[in-house]
Amino acid sequence: MNIESGSNLKTVILIVEDEASIRMGLSAAMTRQGYRVITAENGSDALLKAGENHPDLIISDILMPVLDGFEMKKRLGADPGLASVPLIYLTARTALEDRIVGLRGGADDYVTKPFDVQELTARVEAVLRRTRGERQHGFDEARQLDREEMDKLRRELMQNFHHEIRTPLNNIMVFLEIVATHKFESPDEQREFIRIARASGDRLESLVSDIILLTDLAQGAINDLRQTIHPEIHILPALRRRLARYESKSLNFVPVVSTNGGIKAPRQEFARAILHLVDNAFKFSPQEGAVIFKMTPGANGGATVIIEDQGPGIPAALREQVFERYYQVSQGAAREFQGLGLGLTIARAVFRSLGGDVAILDSARGCCVQATLPDLPTDDPAHG
């Protein structure tokens, strides 16, 4: 049977799980707690059951055939009658990024397998209390209950921030101390120590510049003076220096820059935004992958910039979220990629401050990012 009835017929829980044994176990456990339980085998089946029974809460797996949990939630959100139904994801996926994707997608909680029935029951009761509280008292109670998750993200952010600052700073101090005290065995070793210290200084300066620029953007103090951009002077040298950070990957960097027409933009901010977009392509490219950088001037100071790489790409569902500030923090403790997740945030903010935008386009392979800078009005005075 797909429907089991407990003593409390007013609270209906829809359980969505493709594994029959787990589905039956969950149904029995929730029924014993006095809930009326409805079960579904996948997201598509769940949409039909939800439309017929209007549950008070949904407990759903994520990885399911036919229609997964994320897509199911998206379609529930498009239905005005079901958009407000709270949802708890139940899944074996434990990475922080998976939890953030689920929570940002509208889930109310996240329980991992194998689960403890008492914990799951407590979370169900908490979500139902929160839902009732929202209906009666607005969102104050919901924000209070979410504080623990937000505190966890803040702690991880600070840990990553300390890591990003401390690592290059330590490299600078240690290797300069070795050079200053002549504790090296040969001139070649000395040159290598100095190279490492300079590279670490560049990384630290880059991080500080990002934080300053982000602060200026937040305060609306961003420079908007549009000066003539010479790609060979203001753009490409910085990109080639950044490419050196990825020397071990043997990347093939292919700049395709048109010389017809002139680009006008705030030099430092525009170059910084471009650097972040290209660095992102370097970072996620595979070994010996190609990164194609195209810059085409507009008719009057504008430009179109396209960066293509052969990396894993970005799912359509995440193409807006990756522009959120500190999104890179979702890597968790693994720290596979350096950075605080400010690059795409800064790039889009700079282009939008100039009336343009940055977007991720559909691509058959890898990732394709397009940045657009609008042309100046014909009566706008030239600068620089």
Asked if residues 341 and 326 have their Cβ atoms less than 8 Å apart, the reply is yes
What is the CATH architecture of 3-145? 3-Layer(aba) Sandwich (3.40)
Residues constituting the chain: 384
Closest CA to 297 of 252, 233, 204, 230: 230
Asked if residues 155 and 164 have their Cβ atoms less than 8 Å apart, the reply is no
The pLDDT assigned to 7 comes to: 42
The pLDDT assigned to 346 comes to: 86
What is the CATH architecture of 149-218? Orthogonal Bundle (1.10)
Extents of the domains making up the chain: 3-145, 149-218, 227-373
Amino acid at 332: G
Residue range 227-373, CATH number:
3.30.565.10
Along the chain (384 residues), what's the average pLDDT of each consecutive run of 10 residues? 47 92 90 92 93 92 87 89 88 60 69 82 88 63 56 55 67 77 78 79 75 73 85 93 90 89 89 92 93 94 94 86 64 44 83 93 91 86 53
Q: What is the pTM of this model?
A: 0.51
The pLDDT assigned to 193 comes to: 78
